[in-house]
Amino acid sequence: MGKPTGFLEITRAKQPYRPVEGRVRDWKQVMLPHPTETLQKQGARCMDCGIPFCHMGCPLGNIIPDWNDLVYRNNWREALVRLHATNNFPEFTGTLCPAPCEGSCVLGINDDPVTIKAIELAIIEHAFEAGWITPEPPLARTGKKVAVIGSGPAGLAAAQQLNRAGHWVTVFERADRIGGLLRYGIPEFKLEKRVLDRRLDLLRKEDITFQANANVGVNVPVEDLRRDFDAILLAGGATLPRDLKVPGRDLPGIHFAMEYLPLQNRRCEGDQIPEDRIITARGKRVVILGGGDTGADCLGTAHRQGAVSVHQFELLPSPPKERASDNPWPLWPNILRTSSAHEEGGVRDYCISSTRFSGRNGRVERLHTVRVEFVSDGNGRRVMREIPGSEFEMETDLVLLAMGFLGPEKDGMLGQLGVKLTERGTVWRDDNWMTSVPGVFTAGDMQRGQSLIVWALAEGRQAARGIDRYLMGSTNLP
């Protein structure tokens, strides 16, 4: 603890963002770095409390008070060592993590929590600038081969860990570029893809092999992988979108968020999308169904594409502005969040149920809705009830469905391998991260359901330990 009175003297610095007027005209990242001196002072706000609850808040178990103190003392090199001890890719979490650690920071009980996420990002960016981040190929090879299926954060973290343990790792990805949702899903304005490419270059130099356009279970037979590899990790994500099965759903102009967002990712990469495949909000009245983060990403994308108006409707009630009494510290605060996309415009509305779509000239033209309320059913459960007379309609040219995900796709790879599924439809695993098929492991959204990057990284690391133990009888991987 560099400065015992830091938390009394220094207030939390607000995360800087680019001004709204400028940023909605381009695709560049909206989050700006804090000046270094600001963050060193922010590090001094950490109280180094007896029981650092932030460790538990962070799924990776990042050793947060250590690096807060080291940053305050200007010892960036040592801070990097502590950060990399638990996190393979802090530049992803430092940019995109919702920071559950900050929700459980002890200072947050009666003050603003420490700016943990911003300090994490500053450490890794400082290290890249200083040239400290270099490839770390293993000194010796075990001769074992591991196939990682899926190149999202879970697959990439596992690949790096397994490679460092000396195994030959090949990552199979069905998309034409590597990165999972970091590449195709998360918009450029949240994460510039040069940040992902910078890390992928390092992984390639560490001798990890990447195979894009390799759809396991389709153009890569699972039997080939079973024959050619000593272990397989399934890290294929939870890509099955929740649909809205109401009349008119089939009208052109209604799309899943994940049909829409990756097309813009591709355009940002410089790809030419054929006219008949482009989905754009330009000049359109857009309605987004789903009030979560994916919906917010659609919102920011629609504004940048030149939408005339954007409404984001959510079925559930708005979360409270402050923690509710049944959501105390150190739990993740379930409160209303305003993302950078919400600052840029659009209308958010809650407790709205979509009943049907109607069209004109063969395209969607109108969304029909009714307001709902959630009331007790007398048995301690809350049930949804339509409010009579509250029906309303909204004219629209483009509807984006961002209502969450139902788990991994069951056909193809999972069906062919015959892995057991949980009741939730995710891939079942044992305590060593192995599925019901010996030698086949799983991590990330594929076993957890759609979640967060930080969880994907944490699980990729843990599954790598499980695989290393399976292959070698014991493991030294952290």
Ligand X SMILES: Cc1cc2nc3c(=O)[nH]c(=O)nc-3n(C[C@H](O)[C@H](O)[C@H](O)COP(=O)(O)OP(=O)(O)OC[C@H]3O[C@@H](n4cnc5c(N)ncnc54)[C@H](O)[C@@H]3O)c2cc1C
- Mark 5-38 as b/e (b = at least 16 C-beta within 10 Å): ebbeebebbeeeebeeeebbeebebbbebbeeeb
φ/ψ of 368, rounded to 5, equals -110, 130
Beta partners for residue 440, in sequence order? 232
Cβ distance to ligand SF4 smaller for residue 58 or 402: 58
How far apart CA 318 and CA 347 sit, in angstroms, is 13
Per CB under 6 A, does 466 bind ligand SF4? no
Nearest partner of 207 among 152, 153, 162, 155, judged by Cα: 162
Report the interface residues with ligand X, using CB under 6 A: 96-97, 149-155, 172-175, 180-181, 185-186, 190, 214-217, 235-237, 261, 293-294, 297, 412-413, 444-446, 450-454, 456
Angle at 94 between CA 163 and CA 190, to 5 degrees: 105
Per CB under 6 A, does 116 bind ligand SF4? yes
- Contact partner, 95, from ligand SF4, ligand X, none, Cβ < 5-8 Å per class: none
Q: Confirm if 189 and 300 have CB atoms less than 8 A apart.
A: yes
Which element (helix H / strand E) includes 363? strand 363-376
Burial of 249 (0-12, 13-18, 19+ CB in 10 A): middle
- Contact partner, 261, from ligand SF4, ligand X, none, Cβ < 5-8 Å per class: ligand X
- Contact partner, 60, from ligand X, ligand SF4, none, Cβ < 5-8 Å per class: ligand SF4
Cβ distance to ligand X smaller for residue 213 or 358: 213
Q: Pairing between strand 347-349 and 392-395?
A: unpaired
Mask 426-455, x = binds ligand SF4 (CB under 6 A)?
----------------------------x-
- Contact partner, 117, from ligand SF4, ligand X, none, Cβ < 5-8 Å per class: ligand SF4
For the bound state, the minimum distance from the C-beta of residue 114 to ligand X, rounded and expressed in Å, comes to 19
* Tokens describing residue 94: 């430092």
Residue numbers 57-96 binding ligand SF4 by CB under 6 A? 57-58, 60, 62, 64, 93
How far apart CA 456 and CA 173 sit, in angstroms, is 16
Cβ distance to ligand SF4 smaller for residue 116 or 471: 116
Cβ distance to ligand SF4 smaller for residue 40 or 312: 40
Cβ distance to ligand X smaller for residue 40 or 294: 294
Beta partners for residue 383, in sequence order? 375
Query: Can you give the binding site for ligand SF4, defined by CB under 6 A?
Result: 57-58, 60, 62, 64, 93, 97, 99-101, 116-117, 120, 454
